[in-house]
């Protein structure tokens, strides 16, 4: 087992150990380990303020860690920062290119910053315009582009120097669903070419697109697993699905029950997450009795399996409760 772990670390393109960042007395990232291999899409998932952006800034060399080590494509970030950064492509949360330059001008500028010149520069810019579907807007001002195009331009700029590692910080935040899907298709294509990709996101459905995900809370990684295994974890908090007509009074009453932890609207139904240890069958019987008294009908009520979001929320809640204990 130890030999397999050493082999995995040796082949990793991203290998961070004990990564920590403090700002005064505040610990933003608290001793996390991150390993990502070639062709792998690794997701950091967590609420705003969980430490995802601070972690990714340290990993790509724009923020020095307080403690820990970072290896990128075989280069030690502390000893050989320039070499390590030369292997990295980074797309920040906010559009960081020049809005008053055209798409092509932005790419030329970025190519120059990466040391690309002459025919090589023209070749890589043409590749970027073609493969990221930017050719039709090449002469438009970047600041006038829709957000989805700006995200693609930022990705194109990050790929000009053919990095082995790509960091994407909330890359589809604010983007419409179709543009988000197109962006993920690009990510898959890049992973297929062997690039190691680390992406931060707070979208639950995007986490399912990753090969592995790590859930962050208060600067720590509380769980790391592949999405399918995580989605099938059992919960100590049973879930009921309720569908009724004219059940406003019923819903208001249920919100007051101490056994009800959370009520989540979902696809025309109401998902009721119960507190751990509750008898779901007995509680369902009580709800039906209350519905009869309230004259609510028809009523469909059944215990259901947890969804991926239910599992994530329960894990993060448990972490928060442990911290506050």
At residue 5, does pLDDT exceed 50?
no
Same domain, 213 and 249: no
Q: Is residue 322 part of a domain?
A: no
Q: What is the CATH number of the domain that holds 245?
A: 3.30.70.100
Q: Is the pLDDT of residue 268 over 70?
A: no
Q: Is the same domain home to 218 and 269?
A: no
User: Residue 325 domain-assigned?
Assistant: no
Confidence of residue 311 (pLDDT cuts 50, 70, 90): confident
Q: 171 with 244, same domain? A: no
Which residues pair with residue 16 across a beta bridge? 34, 70
pLDDT band at 269 (very low <50, low <70, confident <90, very high): confident
> Does the pLDDT at position 2 exceed 70?
no
Q: What pLDDT is stored for residue 247 in this prediction?
A: 58
The reply to whether 24 and 163 lie within a common domain is: yes
> Do residues 144 and 267 both lie within one domain?
no
Q: For residue 179, what are the CA distances in angstroms to 9, 149, 152? A: 34, 8, 9
**One domain, residues 262 and 215:** no
Average pLDDT, the chain: 88
Q: Does one domain contain both 220 and 244?
A: no
pLDDT (average), residues 47-57? 90
In the chain, the number of structural domains is 2
Q: Is residue 297 part of a domain?
A: yes
Reported as a single tens digit per residue, the pLDDT across 197-245 is: 999 988 888 889 999 999 999 999 999 999 989 888 878 888 898 887 6
Q: Which of 199, 218, 175 is nearest to 45 (CA)?
A: 199
Which residues touch 132 (CB under 8 Å, ≥6 apart)?
152, 153, 155, 156, 159, 186
- CATH number for the domain including 30? 3.40.50.300
Are 134 and 162 part of one and the same domain? yes
Residues 6+ apart with CB under 8 A from 224: 212, 213, 214, 215
**Which range of residues forms the domain containing residue 301?**
239-305
Co-location of 150 and 287 in the same domain: no
């492509």: which residue's tokens?
89
pLDDT at residue 7 in the model: 39
For the chain, what's the residue count?
A: 325
| pLDDT recorded at residue 248 | 67
Characterize 212-231 residue by residue with b for buried, 16 or more Cβ atoms within 10 angstroms of its Cβ, and e for exposed: bbbbbbbbbbbbbeebeebb
**Predicted confidence (pLDDT) per residue in 82-139, tens digit:** 999 999 999 988 888 999 999 999 999 999 999 999 999 999 999 999 999 999 999 9
Question: What is the pLDDT averaged over residues 26-54?
Answer: 94
The Cα-based distances of 54 to 86, 216, 320 in angstroms read 20, 12, 20
pLDDT surpasses 60 at 9: no
Is residue 113 located within the same domain as residue 226?
yes
Is there a single domain that holds both residue 194 and residue 245? no
Whether the bond between 180 and the residue before it is cis, its omega within 30 degrees of 0, is no
What's the number of CA atoms in the CB half-sphere (13 Å) around residue 173? 14
The label of the residue with tokens 């062709």 reads: 39
Q: Are 156 and 135 in contact (CB under 8 A)?
A: no
Q: Is residue 317 part of a domain?
A: no
Q: Are 35 and 162 in a shared domain?
A: yes
Residue 279: CB atoms within 10 Å: 12
Of 64, 61, 63, give the one whose Cα is nearest residue 73. Answer: 61
Q: Output the pTM of the full model.
A: 0.85
Does the pLDDT value for residue 170 go beyond 70? Answer: yes
Is 16 a domain residue? yes
Q: Give the percent of the chain with pLDDT over 70.
A: 94
Give every strand in the sheet of 260-266, ordered side by side.
Answer: 260-266, 269-274, 239-244, 299-304
Percent of the chain with pLDDT over 90: 55
Q: Which of 59-68, 186-195, 247-256, 302-311 is least confident?
A: 247-256
Residue 250 binned pLDDT confidence (cut-offs 50, 70, 90): confident
Residues 161-194 as b/e (b if ≥16 CB within 10 A, e otherwise) read bebbbbbbbbbbeebeeebbebbbebbeebbeee
Maximum CA extent, the chain: 80
Which whole number is the average pLDDT over 171-176? 84
Cα-Cα-Cα-Cα dihedral of 75, 79, 83, 89, to 10°?
70
């Amino acid at each position: 087992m130890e030999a397999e772990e050493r082999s995995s670390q040796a082949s990793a393109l991203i290998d961070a150990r004990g990564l920590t960042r403090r700002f005064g007395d505040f610990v933003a990232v608290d001793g996390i380990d991150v390993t990502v291999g070639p062709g792998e899409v690794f997701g950091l998932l967590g609420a705003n303020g969980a430490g995802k952006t601070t972690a990714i800034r340290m990993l790509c060399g724009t923020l020095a860690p307080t403690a820990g080590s970072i290896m990128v494509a075989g280069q030690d970030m502390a000893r050989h920062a320039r070499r390590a950064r030369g292997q990295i492509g980074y797309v920040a949360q906010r559009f960081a290119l020049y809005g008053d330059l055209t798409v092509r001008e932005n790419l030329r500028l970025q190519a120059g910053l990466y040391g690309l010149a002459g025919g090589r520069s023209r070749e890589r810019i043409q590749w970027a315009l073609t493969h990221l579907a930017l050719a039709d807007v090449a002469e438009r001002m970047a600041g006038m582009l829709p957000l989805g195009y700006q995200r693609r331009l930022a990705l194109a700029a990050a790929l000009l120097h053919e990095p082995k590692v790509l960091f994407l910080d909330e890359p589809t935040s604010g983007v419409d669903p179709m543009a988000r899907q197109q962006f993920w298709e690009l990510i898959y294509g890049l992973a297929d070419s062997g690039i190691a990709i680390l992406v931060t996101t707070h979208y639950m459905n995007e986490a399912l697109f990753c090969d592995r995900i790590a859930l962050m809370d208060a600067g720590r990684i509380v769980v790391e697993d592949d999405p399918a295994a995580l989605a099938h974890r059992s919960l100590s908090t049973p879930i009921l699905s309720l569908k009724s007509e004219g059940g406003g009074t019923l819903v208001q009453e249920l919100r007051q029950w101490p056994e009800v932890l959370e009520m989540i609207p979902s696809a025309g139904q109401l998902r009721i997450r119960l507190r751990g240890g509750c008898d779901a069958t007995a509680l369902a019987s009580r709800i039906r009795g209350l519905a009869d008294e309230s004259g609510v009908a028809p009523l469909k009520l059944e215990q259901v399996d947890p969804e991926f979001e239910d599992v994530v929320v329960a894990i993060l809640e448990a972490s928060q409760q442990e911290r506050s204990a």
